[in-house]
Structure 1
Amino acid sequence: MDALRFVPFSSAPKVAFWQAVAERKLRDWRLDDAPRPARGFYWAGGGARLVLDGASLRDGAAPPGATALAGRVTVVNTLEAFRRVDKAALLRRAGDALAAAVDDGAALADPARLAPFEVVAFADLKRHAYVYWFAFPALVLRPAAAATRGAPAPLDDALGAAAARALLAAAAEPGAPLAFAWTGASRAPLREAAGGDVFCVLDPAAAGAPGWPARNLLWLLARRFPERRAFRIALLRGRGGCVVEARVAGGAAADVAVVGWEANASGRMAPRSADLAPLADPGALATAAAALNLELMRWRLLPGLDVEKLAATRVLLLGAGTLGCAVARSLVAWGVTRVTLVDGGTVAYSNPARQWLYTVDDAKAQAPKAAAAAAALRRIAPGSAAAPPAFVGKKLTIAMPGHALPAAGTPAGDAADAEVHALDALVADADCVFLLTDTRESRWLPTVVAAARGTLLVNVALGLDTFVVQRHGHGGNGLGCYFCGDVAAPTNSTRDRTLDQQCTVSRPGLAPAAAALAVELLVALLHHPREGAAPADPATPPGAPLPGNRPLGLVPHSIRGFLTHYATVLPTTPAFDRCAACAPAVVAAYRDRGVALVRDVGADPGLLERLSGLADLKGAVDGAAWAEADEF
């Protein structure tokens, strides 16, 4: 008699499985390299392939017609750790667990326990490459089982046509176990089997010798029926099957021997590898690469980093110039892709050198800045298009005090009114507004609208070598806006100015530094328990303890930077009840009158001083000064 041979499983992990491994490693497992439960699937008669797919790391129903097997996946953190894994010890432990499941009856109650698997892997998440090794533990009979016939007999020949049809029908029923006993007329659980029954297994092999599950089933039978010397095993392979007659020399030995590491594609006992980079969409690769730095922060340094909140944050950029381009790039680096850019201008030849989202071709085409910037961001982060609205550009002119709007009722006037309404809607829909415009008066209407709508607003303004980053107070924290330190309403600042006075002239390194700090302030606020309504933190010396609940550091009211001294200070400005932009009277007037107020202020910026109470305050101060002078 010849030794009975078995067809080992061949691993077939799909791309979706490795993608699921990468996602779980990045987001959940991180540095924890403990074994994780997994499920593999095979189809009876399908060729002894164990398939792992995107569903293998979560619970759920098996694919139609498939048999599910339980296994474990161990993803280590370095290639060196993969090499150091004691493969022999791992397989021995798996074999001991399998033998214990046979002895304590667990495998009798759940025959799928007879076909476990182990996967050890290293995931290089930067290169989308994986090194892995599968093991399919199989218990060894000593001496080996022998086949009493030269070849398995067809089911019809071995059992009779009627019994064969009944058996195949029973095996095809939903919920049929991997192995069971056949009494000649019905299916019985293994735990109720008698030695004379036909033992059946849903066999993965397509033809010929039995597949790997039959090997462990035979070990179970030898252990359970030590007095028996021969067993008939029906190999059920989809719509057909065969019966093999196996002879054993005696019960399974007390000492457990186990084999099962899979050979690689060359037939050597060595790991396999998978390189997914050439198979992936470039946009998906770019998205994964952009997320990698954020996820790695959570592994050790910032476990409280809320990447999902950042991705869901809706940001409005008012101004797509030097500051707008720098803020947009920093937002993308933080995983913020729901960005709307607003600008009324077109790309000029002076822009590309300082405004990184534009090219000379954009200037040649006189492309609208907002649309061109959004298109550039989509090229930088193409995978973000899967989560609209990502990177939207809108051409819009912001109404300003001292800049009269076209006459109401005319086509130009109607268009101007529509732009005011559009700005209001954009601010109301945003979680945060970055105010990045060139002039003081262009900051007035967005500041008023943000106050009226309760939207967080971050102002960034530049001088030659100084900058200010300031968040608008809301939610009752009493913090002032950009205009709260002024005693004059904004008006037309570009009238009778030379070119250097009309442009924002600043040192090239200033805008990127200010933009970076503005985005970092937003991210810190999003991680504060009160988010945008957080009170101002005072300056704290480097190295000193931070207040509680500050995973990303302080949340100051404003940051003032001085490039000449490479220094910053963190002043706090309280809200001014007669501010020309956020005073209660101004905000209430905007809520009540809307476009009508904007029109009136455009024609007469002095209205703001009268409305807010600044005019009365200045009059009282002037009167007091004259009274004091009269005393002398």
Structure 2
Amino acid sequence: MPVLQFASFASLVQPTFWHELTRLKLEVLRLSDDHIPVTATYSVGKTIKDRNTGQEIELGLGKSRAVRVAGGSQHAFIVGAPGIVKNFNTVEEFKDADKKALFNQFAEEMWEAMVKNNDPSVLNKFLLITFADLKKYKYHYWFAFPAFAAQPLWEIDSEWSSATTAFTNAQLSILHDKLAAQSLPYFLIRRSGSNVEIASVDEYGDFYADTPEESRAVGFIDPSPHPSTPGWPLRNLLAYLRANNPSTTRYIQVLCWRDTEIPHGGSHWKSTFGVVIGGQTQGKPNAVGWEKNPQGKLGPRLADLAPMMDPSRLADQAVDLNLKLMRWRILPSLDLDKIASTRCLLLGAGTLGCYVARTLMGWGVRTITLVDSGRVSFSNPVRQPLFEFEDCLDGGKPKAECAAARLQKIFPGVNATGHTLSIPMPGHPVPPQSVEGVKEAVAKLEALISEHDAVFLLMDSRESRWLPTVIGAAKGKIVMNAALGFDTFLVMRHGARQPSADGTRLGCYYCNDIVAPADSLTDRTLDQMCTVTRPGLASIASSTAVELLMSLVQHPDGIHAAPPPPGKEPEEADNGVLGVVPHQIRGYLRQFRNHPIVGAAFSKCTGCSETVLKEYEAKGFDMMLRAFNEVGYLEAMTGLDKLYQEGEEALEAVDWEEEGEEDF
């Protein structure tokens, strides 16, 4: 009698599986080598008849018998195959792994479940080993479908024939309906007259207790379309039955089920039938099952997704790679979603604004809005990395819009927009004919600040920071400030309006001043009109400002995070995920030193005091217009004028002693 041959499985991995493996590797597994459970599917083998030759031709070049990983949902005649994925951390580990030991251990566990636990759910279990090269989107993988090879080999009595040689059309129709309803990958069949009944294969003893051998048959959903070669699942089914029921399984009638529909007229069934003989009755059979590669050799395969992926999607996944790798060993509690969802408004698209925007993108921030009133000039591109020479031509492109367009060109996944807007300033009177335009500008700035979570003050002048300071404080926004000197810089976060739990409140940019912001732009020489700094200073200050924001966002107390005490080592309890969150950082490039400073809020501050904020909330634009037009208005409102007068009077009251020549 001919030896029974089996059609092996062929893997077919859908791209969605690799995307999910990428996500698991970066966000869950990281450096762990734990096994991952996975489910694949296979369906009945399908063929079509060639009209010219009358021969049955397999569909899909063999893919009809494929195990589809990350396949579709479970339906009738689609079988779920459980498996595990072992992903290696390096390609060297993948290549050097002891595949024989891995396979033997896996097969041993399957055999124990089959024999000791009488568990048929493991009969089509598989092993998949992988290495994911996430920088190039290449995936090395190798499937193993363990199957137990009996000794002596199974033989086929005569040959496989149509299922109608053993079953009537009516019985096959009944079988079809029952299999469609119960979705059993392996099943027992009991024929009784014109009727048939089915049961799970683990019920063998009870189901066949009073059934003669000629009325018994076993069946399985057959993924092979070949008329004379049943699919791979039969191999383990026979080993399972033979090991658990050795006295009644020397001869087994087998139905290879391949019909998803009842054929028209009840004829031309594709399912096949045969009687198999022999098999191993003692001991565990040897297992085989590593899949061959496309060259027909035992070896791994390679899936290269990069050519098939949308470049925008590639960039979207790659841009966060560094951030996700940070969580593997260094910062496992880093909340990247919180960072990505932080909407940032950059007031100023010059040197500071360009560097801040680039660093924010490096942190994975997805919403960046830029505001500026200027145009790109010929002196900008060498110092401001979002501009090029062509942006300076024909009078220069608007800075904010040009910078936003360049951000999207660098990374299409960023939501970057630009607005040309001149921010009104104290000490810069508004002519009557311009009041409505200024009112619109203020309303637009208010709307932009409301729509964002963090506001960066990156402008050239001191007075241009006043209006967003007031609006940001009133609306409870995070306000970050960066200012440059020649070789010094200041980076600070404005304190929250509401005091922290201990009653303290941090100051803003204006809290150290006893004068209100005024016109500092008129009558300036060229070197005063330009921000003259050492070239590397802007990038240092910008990066420091963004890093300070990230530390603030990740701190459990958020905007109320306490700064480290001056001159003392911060307590561990005061640290956030990214460490301490200073209030101010003053940098001195000449000495290459940074000093963290803490400044309390000033009750008479013209930017963030309750007097100013309540006046703004009560009178809105009218209050602002007075601040723009009236010299001394802010000092009188906050009481700075009286404080200044008291200081002058105190100085005048001092009895200064003048030293005469005789004292020398």
TM-score when normalising by structure 1:
0.93
Secondary structure of the 2:299 match is: coil
1:527 aligns with 2:547: no
1:476 aligns with 2:499: yes
Contact (CA 8 Å) 1:233, 1:245: kept in 2 or not? yes
Q: Is the 8 A contact 1:323 1:512 kept in 2?
A: yes
Q: Check if 1:374 corresponds to 2:404.
A: yes
Alignment partner of 2:93 out of 81, 85, 92 = 81
The 5 Å alignment of 1:56-455 reads 61-62=73-74, 66-108=78-120, 110=121, 113-150=122-159, 152-173=160-181, 175-184=182-191, 185-193=196-204, 194=208, 196-208=215-227, 209-227=229-247, 228-237=249-258, 238-239=260-261, 240-365=269-394, 366-384=396-414, 390-407=415-432, 412-455=434-477
Aligned residues of 1:142 and 1:253 also touching (Cα < 8 A): no
What CA distance in whole angstroms lies between the structure 1 residues aligned with 2:639 and 2:37?
A: 68
Q: CA RMSD in A?
A: 2.0
Q: What code does the residue aligned with 1:75 have?
A: N
2:491 is paired with a residue whose SS is strand
Instruction: For 1:622 and 1:610, locate their aligned partners in 2 and report how far apart those are by CA, in whole Å.
Output: 16
- Contact 2:39/2:82 (8 A) holds in 1: yes
Rate the CA distance shift 1:54–1:215 in 2: closer, same or farther, 3 A.
Answer: closer
The farther-off stretch of 565-574 and 154-163 is 154-163
Matching of residues 620-631 of structure 1 within 5 Å: 620-629=646-655
Cα separation, partners in 2 of 1:540 and 1:337, compared to 1, 3 Å: farther
CA distance in 2, matches of 1:226, 1:242: 27
What is the deviation of 1:92?
1.3
1:235 alignment partner AA: C
The offset of 1:549, in angstroms, is 3.7
What is the distance in 2 between the residues matched to 1:382 and 1:314? 17
User: How far did 1:327 drift?
Assistant: 0.3
Cα contact 1:130–1:274 (8 A) shared by 2:
yes
2 CA distance for matches of 1:296 and 1:500?
45
Greater displacement, 5-14 / 342-351: 342-351
Shift of 1:115: 0.1
Displacement of 1:323 after TM fit?
A: 0.2
Q: Distance in 2 between matches of 1:235 and 1:618?
A: 99
Deviations 1:544-576 (A, max 9, x none): 975554331221110111111111111111111
Letter in 1 for 2:251: A
For the 8 Å contact 1:315–1:338, the answer to whether it is kept is: yes
CA 466–179 in structure 1, closer or farther in 2 if over 3 Å, else same? same
How far does residue 428 in structure 1 lie from its aligned partner after superposition?
Answer: 2.2
Contact 1:465 1:506 in 2 (8 A): yes
What corresponds to 1:460 in structure 2? 482
Letter in 1 for 2:201: L
- In structure 2, what is the Cα distance between the partners aligned to 1:54 and 1:169? 24
Q: Output the TM-score relative to the length of structure 2.
A: 0.89
Matched AA of 1:97 = E
Instruction: Measure the CA separation in 1 of the matches of 2:619 and 2:74.
Output: 62
Q: Per the alignment, do residues 97 and 459 of structure 1 end up closer, same or farther by CA in structure 2, a change over 3 Å counting?
A: same
Rounded to whole Å, the distance in 1 between the matches of 2:363 and 2:631 is 39
1:557 matched to which residue of 2? 583
Which segments of 5 or more consecutive residues in structure 2 lack a partner in the other structure? 47-63, 262-268, 659-664
Distance apart, 1:447 and its partner CA: 0.6
Give the letter aligned to residue 67 of structure 1: V
Q: Deviations over 1:552-606 (max 9, x none)?
A: 1221110111111111111111111111111111111111111111111111141
Aligned to 1:377, the other structure's residue is in SS state: helix
Q: Using the alignment, how far apart are the partners of 2:493 and 2:421 within structure 1?
A: 23
Q: Which amino acid aligns with 2:562?
A: P
Unmatched 5+ stretches in structure 1 = 56-60, 385-389
> Runs of 4 or more off by more than 3 Å in structure 1?
538-542, 544-549, 629-632
Q: What displacement does 1:42 show?
A: 1.2
Which letter does structure 2 place at the counterpart of 1:398?
I
2:576 pairs with 1:537: no
Q: Which moved more, 1:611-620 or 1:156-165?
A: 156-165
Task: State how far apart, in whole Å, the 1-side matches of 2:404 and 2:186 are.
Answer: 59
Map 1:13-52 → 2, pairs under 5 A: 13-45=13-45, 47-52=64-69
Q: Percent identity?
A: 39
Residue 594 of structure 2 aligns with an amino acid whose one-letter code is T
Alignment partner for residue 603 of structure 2, among 565, 577, 581? 577
Q: Residue 330 of structure 1 aligns to which amino acid in structure 2?
A: T
Cα offset, 1:464, TM superposition: 0.9
Distance 2:14 2:568 in 1: 52
The aligned residue for residue 3 of structure 1 is 3
Q: Which has the larger radius of gyration?
A: 2
Contact 2:76-2:179 within 8 A present in 1 as well: no
> Do 2:162 and 2:273's aligned partners in 1 also have CA atoms closer than 8 Å?
no
3-state SS in 2 of match to 1:133: strand
The offset of 1:623, in angstroms, is: 1.7
Count the aligned residue pairs. 613
Q: CA deviation at 1:241?
A: 3.4
Residue 242 of structure 1: how far off its partner (Å): 2.7
